[in-house]
Amino acid sequence: MAGEQKTYYTIDPEGRLKCCKCGVPLVKANAVFGYLDNAFPVELPVCPVCGFVYVPEELAMGKVLSVEKVLEDK
């Protein structure tokens, strides 16, 4: 569809997520999802200090789940 966003997840607005342990806002960073020996590079909110990667619920129960299901039938 025209105009459809291709990114899986956008941090919008930035700075609304904070790492409790380090007390700093999460920033957009490169991460890799892996499943059954497949890897998918994505951009996710990550703590710049401790590296905590946040996977939001909508993403986990949406796109991630559907990709898992597809891979399971490969």
Partner 1 sequence: MDFTERSTRVYRTKQLFTKEELAAREGLCVHEEPPFCSAACPLKLDVREFVRLCAAGDFTAARAMLERITPFARVLAAGCSAPCAAACRLNEVGEGIDIAALERAAMRYGAPKSGRGMLRFRKKKRAAVLGAELFTLSAAAEFAQKSYPTEFYVPQADAADLVRACAPFLSEEDCAAEAARLKAMDLKVHYGAQITRELYESCRQSADILCLSRGAAKALEPAAEPDEVTLLCEALGALVRPAGEEDVLTALTDARRAGVSADRIAQGMDPATLRGEEGAVTSRLYTDLSGVAPSRRKTAGHALPTAEEAQSEAARCVQCSCTECLKACPYLRHYAKSPRLLTREIYNNAGIIMGDHMMNKALNSCALCGQCSVVCPNGFDMAEICRRARENMVDTGKMSLAVHEFALYDQIFSNTEALLARSQPGFERSEWVFFPGCQAGAVAPEAVERAYSDLCGRLPGGVGIFLGCCGAVAKWSGRTELWEETRALLANELAKLGDPVVIAACPTCAGVLKEAGIPKVRGLWEVLLEIGLPDTAPQEGARVTLHDACGARGDHALQQAVRKILHGLGCEVTESELSGDKTPCCGYGGLVSCANPKMAKEFAQSIAQSAQGLPVVSYCMACRDRIAREGVKSLHLLELLYGADAGSPPGLSEKRRNRLKLKERLLKEKWGEDLAKRPLGFGLTLTEEARALMEERMILDTDVIAVMQHYHDTGEAVEDLDGGLLVTRMRLGNVTFWAKFTEDAQGYTVHRVYSHRMTVETR
Residues lying near partner 1 in the complex (CB under 8 A): 16-21, 26, 29-38, 41, 44-47, 50-55, 57, 60-61, 64-65, 67-68, 70-74
Q: Measured between alpha carbons, how far is residue 14 from residues 40, 58, 62 in Å?
A: 23, 17, 21
Pick from 49, 54, 62, 59: nearest CA to 14: 54
- Where b means 16+ CB within 10 Å and e means fewer, 10-22 reads ebeeeeeeebeee
Nearer to partner 1, 3 or 30 (CB): 30
Closer residue to partner 1, CB minimum distance, 2 or 36: 36
Kindly state the smallest distance separating residue 1's Cβ from partner 1, in Å.
24
Q: State which residue, 3 or 7, has the beta carbon closest to partner 1.
A: 7
